[in-house]
Chains A and B, each alone.
Chain A
Amino acid sequence: MDGYEKVAFPERKANRVESVPAGEVAATSGTGKNKGGFDREMIWQAVKDSFVKLNPRVMLSNPVMFVVEIMAVLTTFFTFSALSGAHGSLWFNAQIAAWLWITVLFANFAEALAEGRGKAQAASLRRARSETRAKKLVGERVEEVSSTRLNKGDVVLVEAGEVIPGDGEVIEGIASVDESAVTGESAPVIRESGGDRSAVTGGTRVLSDWIKVRVTANPGETFLDRMIQLVEGARRQKTPNEIALTILLVGLTIIFLLVVASLEPFAMYSGARASLPVLAALLVCLIPTTIGGLLSAIGIAGMDRLLRRNILAMSGRAVEAAGDVDVLLLDKTGTITLGNRMAVEFVAAPGVTPQMLADAAQLASLADETPEGRSIVVLAKEKYNLRERDLAGLGAVFVPFSAQTRMSGVDLKEREIRKGASDAIEKYLAESGEKLPPAVNTVVEEIARKGGTPLVVAENRRVLGVIYLKDVVKGGIKERFAQLRRMGIKTVMITGDNPLTAAAIAAEAGVDDFMAEATPETKLALIRRHQSAGHLVAMTGDGTNDAPALAQADVGVAMNSGTQAAKEAGNMVDLDSNPTKLIEVVETGKQLLMTRGALTTFSIANDVAKYFAIIPALFAVTYPQLNVLNIMGLATPQSAILSAVIFNALIIVALVPLALRGVTYRPLGANAILRRNMFIYGLGGLIVPFIGIKAIDLLLVLLGLH
């Protein structure tokens, strides 16, 4: 039988946001600065940063754009040296040089803008980290020291109104803590020694009572420090897939370098001459600048999208792995069910009317503030029209739940009402030699088999009947799981319930599989089993005993409300402590990869049109016949080359919003997604530049710039 304890101790604070979709949570809580749009200041900052990033040492990390920068330098040089010489098309060369610089700046701008949001958030986090005085306990003595001088293992006392000086574990006391500096959530949370709610974060404030905290992080290594580094992108490393893609882009760049370099001898052979600015323009148009310029922005934006949902990814690698996840381990409570059992039925014992049972049950629950207790009161009112009564007026004495009796109830003048799990009531009855009637026993078993929790109600040691408490599966979750299945993701429900209960709920929620009577060991074994079959596993967890499984999982999302050990073990932390968000994490990962693929395809497909613009222009003097290839009908060779370069630069900035927002994600099977994206970014990538280059050409002619 599932423990009655859980009924009396509602689990996490996470429960209160259950019914609110995660997106809204992020929008309403958040750290305030982190909304979707960009303010003018952020854009201005990004513009300034794009110039700072021109530093070749910074550019070197992006080989494609580095080549563009070199070409820009060479072209500029050529243009200036031509000033003294007798080269004709100075104005034309200068324009090419300018647009090559603009191409580099646009790419830098994209990256700077993506970093901008994180920087703004880091600034607000820094304010929380400001130096504080800490009361360090040395033996019995209290010593005032600066928070920056606290080391791992020190113990500090934090009292009401004070800021917790560093990350740590509560070793004594209980306090309500305002964690809004980190989570953006203004409602205070309880932190106490022992159990899964013992972790405190530096920079948060104790509101009431006092706690003794053992510091678990040295200065500079605290959660807040790490968070600042992460959101700032200071420690950003290229993810494995990003590295592989960069290799491909570098390969393509080398090929096109050779194409352009070998064009010079071919042209010489043919009696044509291509000037350096024109060759530079051709090269820059051909190398994959679109994806090269946006690649890092896409990665940063992926982490940023998670951050706006209040999930902190410890590395880009974790976000990427999230896209590959195909097994989700979901905690039943809080993710699949609402987390609280609700009374749905009163089943009276033989010879008792349902009204009598409901009356006793409601009386016993009036003082019970747990959601379960309230649901009993509400059900009695709805079904039997029993109105709430004033306990004090009745002279009632509430008997709270205790670990010894595992029952709660109420004592009135002549009535002693108790409710509890059937074995607890059985024990209570046995004191006076009574037994559970067989009919009640049957009902108890029946409810348990259906996945519910039976609560037996007794009055004056006479069993009145059973309250059917049911785990309520969240609305819409079944459809969500069906979507996941179509995406190829298997859902596994993890629960401490017995197999019967678990099976019933699993069937109702529509998960693919479940694990009943889960322990940390069996969870770990389950993850290993899936991984050895080649699957990637994601899970959430908060307890210290979840830590091994969180570390083993490919994506381990630790709840911020959880222990320090859990947060260390996972590769993401959910600041809202909402386990449902695991699904969003996977979607964000997929979106990140899709955006990368879409822009790569788009970038390569673009080259076709650029060839049709530049090749006829390049050799128009030597072989006028090649003008047949000028299918866009571009006005002059100069305008054709300029249009291609300008298009190449503008497309980067035009795609910045897409890179930051990510391509539209739909929970469909791989084939449907591919068809859709191929149509938009593959076919679009072929056609758009033809239109764009032609339009720019027309504009150039209109403005007389060619």
Chain B
Amino acid sequence: MKGIDLFQLFLYLVLLIALAVPLGRYMARVYQGERTWFDKLAGPVERLIYRLTGVDAGREMNWWQYALAVLVFNISGMVLLFLLQLVQGILPLNPQHFGAVKWDLSLNTAISFMTNTNWQAYSGESTMSYLTQMAGLTVQNFLSAATGMAVVIALIRGLARHTARTIGNFWVDLTRSVLFILLPISVVGALFLVSQGVIQNLSPYLNVHTLEGARQTLAMGPVASQEFIKELGTNGGGFFNANSAHPFENPTPLTNLVEMLAILVIPAGLAITFGRMVKDVRQGRVVLAAMLILFVLALGVCYTSEVTGNPQISALGVSGPTAMEGKEVRFGITNSALFATVTTAASCGAVNTMHDSLTPLGGLVPMLQIMLGEVVFGGVGSGLYGMLIFVILTVFIVGLMVGRTPEYLGKKIESREMKMATLAVLIPAATILIGAALAAATKAGTSSIANPGPHGLSEILYAFASGTGNNGSAFAGLNANTLFYNLAIGLAMFIGRFGVILPVLAIAGSMAAKKAVPAGPGTFETTGGLFAGLLSATVLIVGALTFFPALALGPIVEQLLMFAGKAF
């Protein structure tokens, strides 16, 4: 490992924490309705929105009212996006005259952007009109991110409150997420990207003569405005098919760094917000610490595997890095491995390198991070609520060992919470396994595979993991734009999103209603290094136990075969 590589990775982590902490504090103020410096600007807009929509901001919801609002809002958004794609051909802002998107692809894409997955079975530059990109996809980028944040804030309220019936107002949480957090940061971020060379226009695609004298079509579009929220909201859906490997999306090493920071800053910051809102900052820090432990482990494996590369290429006498296929030369091994780890730690799915081309073990890391439930930072909101589910599991299993029935933040964890927490872990795991098994066993599934052998299995596994985990990145070898995959992964994305959100909100409701027991020396401590270790071990063991056999047949055996001289 080169010193400069190590320094870059380290610098990234330092910058991330330095940004996440103040942002986390700010978000806590936003969600608790406290005064912020941004009130003057956003306050009037917020009140106007409530007046226009008839929302009573002071009225709180109980958990199922909240859940109902989440569902109604998201499904309506999905239907609108679905219809927009079907009729984009007759709508304006379509200089390339793209026709209607096929119904199954359109449905898949609508679910994908509504669930914060941004799985793309299409190429943006050859499928979507500017109107669809701006009014459809970008809008959902904001709203799906805000939904995740609202849900985690509802859960935090449920944990922080006691003997309460309500967990907040979804419309208020949603509005404040967009107005106070996502929108202002995105505006600044987009302007920065433009300054670095990211395009933002509505012009038709350009036909240019290259230096070599060839003719080339350059896709244009309002990229910057969609680009920053793509990372900030951990959405990941690229304007162009090449995503953040495309020079118009990610032109310089600086934009690369900023984009990587944007992906994790809200998920990391929310941990701090959590600590603030439960009035014990250590609780937030310990969650953040567990996320960091897992992240550094994953990064270490991915980086090492990529640097080691492919011995067969070394054998050909190639000097320098041997795993450059599928990577941008501008970013190199380190920043590709880091981006891959970052984007799958968060359920972002933006990529600056082709995960399909990573070394098998390097590719296992993104896959495993998604399979762990997208809790290593995870998506905006969804990462923290997923991690808090694991906190509840850890407290329940390990907490018994101190000789008291388990409690978290002074609340007893009883059968209802266990039922919901188990469901929240079980539903995504079952979706991935059943979906992948179905694909591996049917002609409809296997015919899309580009590479034979274990790598093909990895492609299938990755697709269902990415969809269910609402990540959206792809092991690109798989041809996903088929009826089977559009529907199967569409369903996986939907179940993976709401199959977790509903149990999470149910837990929020039942935890809010409980009495709080003051902590004493006999209470199981959920802060400190020991707990951070236990939490990360629980995540690893539960995830590894669930997917180890499948992974053994996919990337693990592939890596072993590669060392033995066989590639796919």
Contact = CB atoms under 8 A, between A and B. Distances in A.
Interface string A667-703: 0011101110110011000000000000000000000
Interface string B523-545: 11100001000100000010011
Nearest to B460: A269
Nearest to A586: B403
Interface stretch (A124-132, A319-327, A345-353): A319-327
B418 A600 contact: no
Contact of B564 (A534, A625, A629): A625
Nearest to A243: B415
Interface in A259-290: 259-270, 272, 282, 286
Interface string A608-652: 100100010011000101101100000000000000000000000
A533 interface: yes
Interface string B197-241: 000000000000000000000000000000000000000000000
A601 B525 contact: no
B401 interface: yes
A155 to B, nearest CB: 45
Contacts of A264: 437
A356 interface: no
B549 interface: yes
Interface in B387-432: 393, 396-406, 410, 413-415, 417-419, 422-423, 425-426, 429-430
Main secondary structure of the interface of B (DSSP, over half): helix
Contacts of B547: 259
A254 B425 CA distance: 11
B75 interface: no
A456 interface: no
B415 A593 contact: no
A240 B415 CA distance: 7
A250 B422 CA distance: 9
Nearest to B538: A604
Describe A's contact surface by its main secondary structure: helix
A263 B549 contact: yes
B317 interface: no
Contacts of B417: 244
A593 B400 contact: yes
Q: How large is the interface on A (under 10, 10 to 19, 20 to 34, 35 or more residues)?
A: 35 or more
Interface residues of B, number: 64
Given A601-B398, A625-B561, A248 B418 contact: yes
A625 B405 CA distance: 46
Interface string A654-672: 0000000000010001110
B450 interface: no
Contact of A615 (B401, B419, B524, B549): B549
B65 interface: no
Nearest to A251: B422
Contacts of B548: 611, 615
B402 A673 contact: yes
Contacts of A256: 545
Interface stretch (A113-121, A162-170, A305-313, A486-494): A486-494
Given A243-B415, A251-B422, A678-B534, A323 B397 contact: no
A605 B541 CA distance: 8
Contacts of A250: 422
A160 interface: no
Nearest to B562: A625
A581 interface: no
Contacts of A269: 440-441, 446, 456-457, 553
B557 interface: yes
Given A247-B419, A615-B552, A262 B437 contact: yes
A241 B397 contact: no
A670 B433 contact: no
A256 B544 CA distance: 12
Given A251-B426, A255-B429, A674 B457 contact: no
Nearest to B453: A270
A262 B398 contact: no
Contacts of A486: 521
B550 interface: yes
A150 interface: no
Interface in A218-251: 240-241, 243-245, 247-248, 250-251
B436 interface: yes
Contacts of B422: 247-248, 250-251
B446 A323 contact: no
A596 B404 contact: no
A420 B560 CA distance: 94
A323 B406 CA distance: 11
A663 B404 CA distance: 14
Contacts of A320: 405
A669 to B, nearest CB: 4
Contacts of A618: 549
Nearest to A247: B418
Interface in B420-478: 422-423, 425-426, 429-430, 433-434, 436-438, 440-441, 446, 453-454, 456-457
Contact of B515 (A254, A267, A534, A626): A534
B235 to A, nearest CB: 29
A674 B396 contact: no
A598 interface: yes
A597 B560 contact: no
A600 B397 contact: yes
Contact of A258 (B423, B430, B440): B430
B521 A611 contact: no
A590 B404 contact: yes
A328 interface: no
B426 A247 contact: no
Given A251-B422, A534-B410, A596 B552 contact: no
Contact of A678 (B401, B457, B523): B401
Contact of B403 (A244, A282, A593): A593
A677 B440 contact: no
Interface string B477-521: 000000000000000000000000000000000000001111011
Contact of B516 (A267, A534, A625): A534
Which of A269, A589, A681 has the most B CB atoms < 10 Å from its CB?
Answer: A269
A594 interface: yes
B553 A267 contact: yes
B546 interface: yes
Contacts of B399: 597
Most chain A beta carbons < 10 A, residue from B413, B423, B534, B553? B553
B180 to A, nearest CB: 34
Given A269-B446, A488-B521, A597 B401 contact: yes
Nearest to A260: B549
B405 A323 contact: yes
A625 B557 contact: yes
Given A674-B530, A678-B534, A533 B518 contact: yes
Closest 9 CB pairs between A and B?
A: A488-B522, A597-B400, A590-B403, A251-B422, A488-B520, A597-B401, A262-B437, A265-B441, A534-B517
17 contacts: A241-B414, A244-B418, A247-B419, A248-B393, A258-B429, A265-B437, A265-B441, A266-B437, A268-B441, A270-B457, A323-B405, A324-B405, A533-B518, A601-B401, A604-B541, A677-B401, A678-B534
Given A286-B545, A490-B520, A681-B401, 17 more contacts: A248-B393, A248-B397, A259-B547, A265-B441, A323-B405, A488-B520, A593-B404, A594-B401, A597-B401, A598-B400, A598-B401, A607-B545, A611-B548, A623-B560, A625-B560, A671-B525, A674-B524
Interface of A: 240-241, 243-245, 247-248, 250-251, 254-256, 258-270, 272, 282, 286, 320, 323-324, 326, 485-490, 533-536, 589-591, 593-594, 596-598, 600-601, 604-605, 607-608, 611, 615, 618-619, 623, 625-626, 628-629, 665, 669-671, 673-675, 677-678, 681-682
Interface of B: 393, 396-406, 410, 413-415, 417-419, 422-423, 425-426, 429-430, 433-434, 436-438, 440-441, 446, 453-454, 456-457, 515-518, 520-525, 530, 534, 541, 544-550, 552-553, 556-557, 560-561, 564
